[in-house]
């Protein structure tokens, strides 16, 4: 999905941003952020591909704080942040009946952040649903942010054991994806991510060793240590 300014100009909010008003949002962005199911479904076919025009902040219940939604974010970025699981289920159903809506998978915002990269950050139930979708993994697992951080790096940096277990599964049986067979070469992609470095030359382990403000991510040192142990076991197995 690319920013469609002609379409956006007809629908976006031109008011100055406040706590409840977001300049550069379309109606469907409000419906997603407020989890208004019927309004969202009504708008979906016409506005599903609109992206936010500029950064804004919304509340993330799992983190207990506001988070920045970058410009160029899709409805999925919003849905994952506010944990709108029913809206995400609706979208997955749409993918089955109308595959053209599948281009929501793979959308990156202005920070180069795909929705998959956002998942371990917001750590909502909706985020985990997104991260265990076959279509999502096929389209997003190779994507990096603008600072060249990949999925493995972000999981290590924040310290999410649940997502470390996912990475372990992706490199093994792929049971979490609930598919017949496996995604070809996914194991190789995971191995490559362990070997990559970000723009500052840090790999997953160096990022994992960086101190973080656990309060920002509703996490703790024990969880981070557990996460790094799981990831180390994955790379040890992949290196055999």
DSSP string, the chain: ----HHHHHHHS--SPP-SS--TT--HHHHHHHTT-HHHHHHHHHHHTT---SS-EEEEETTTTEEEEE-TT--HHHHHHHHT-HHHHHHHHHHHHH-GGGGGGTT-B-TT--BHHHHHHHH--HHHHHHHT-HHHHHHHTT---TT---HHHHHHHHT-HHHHHHHHHHTTT-GGG--SS--TTHHHHHHHHHH---TTS--HHHHHTS---HHHHT--HHHHHHHHHHHHHHHHHHT-
How many Å apart are CA 59 and CA 69, to the nearest integer?
Answer: 10
Residue that has been written with the tokens 């049971």 in this structure: 175
pLDDT of residue 184: 94
pLDDT, residue 169, reads: 98
3 confidence band (pLDDT: 50, 70, 90): low
Euclidean distance between CA atoms 182 and 226, whole angstroms: 27
- Does domain 1-143 correspond to CATH entry 1.10.3470? no
Residues 167-177 pLDDT 10s:
999 999 999 99
pLDDT at 4 over 70: no
Q: Which residues pair with 59 in a beta bridge?
A: 66
Res. 6: pLDDT tops 80: no
Segments making up each domain of the chain, as ranges: 1-143, 144-240
- The pLDDT confidence band at residue 23, using thresholds 50, 70 and 90, is confident
Q: Is the pLDDT of residue 230 over 90?
A: yes
pLDDT of residue 92: 96
Confidence tier at 18 by pLDDT (50, 70, 90): confident
Determine the pLDDT at residue 8: 56
Q: pLDDT grade, residue 12 (50/70/90)?
A: confident
Q: What is the pLDDT of residue 2?
A: 60
- Which has more confidence, 1 or 190? 190
> Sign of the C-alpha dihedral, residues 127, 99, 48, 9?
positive
7: pLDDT strictly greater than 60 = no
Tokens of 56: 């804004």
Mean predicted confidence (pLDDT) in 21-34:
90
Q: What pLDDT is attached to residue 42?
A: 95
How much of the chain, in percent, has pLDDT values that exceed 90? 80
More confident residue, 101 or 194: 194
């Amino acid at each position: 999905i690319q920013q469609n300014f002609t379409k956006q100009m007809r629908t976006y909010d031109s008011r100055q941003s406040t706590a409840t008003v977001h300049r550069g949002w379309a109606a469907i962005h409000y419906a997603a952020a407020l989890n208004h199911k019927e309004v969202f479904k009504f708008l979906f076919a016409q506005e599903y591909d609109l992206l936010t025009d500029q950064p804004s902040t919304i509340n993330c219940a799992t983190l207990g704080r506001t988070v920045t939604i970058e410009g160029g974010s899709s409805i999925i970025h919003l849905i994952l942040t506010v944990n709108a699981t029913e809206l995400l289920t609706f979208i997955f159903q749409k993918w089955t009946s109308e595959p053209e809506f599948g281009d929501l998978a793979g959308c990156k915002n202005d920070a180069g952040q795909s929705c998959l990269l956002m998942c371990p950050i917001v750590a909502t139930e909706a985020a985990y649903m997104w991260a265990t979708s076959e279509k999502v993994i096929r389209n997003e697992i190779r994507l990096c942010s603008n600072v060249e951080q990949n999925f493995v790096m972000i999981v290590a940096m924040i310290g999410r054991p649940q997502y470390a277990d996912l990475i372990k599964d992706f490199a093994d049986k792929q049971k979490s994806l609930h598919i017949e067979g496996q995604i070809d070469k996914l194991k190789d992609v995971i191995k490559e991510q362990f070997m990559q470095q970000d723009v500052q030359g840090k790999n997953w382990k160096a990022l994992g060793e960086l101190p973080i403000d656990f309060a920002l991510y509703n996490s703790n040192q024990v969880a981070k240590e557990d996460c790094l142990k799981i990831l180390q076991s994955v790379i040890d197995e992949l290196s055999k």
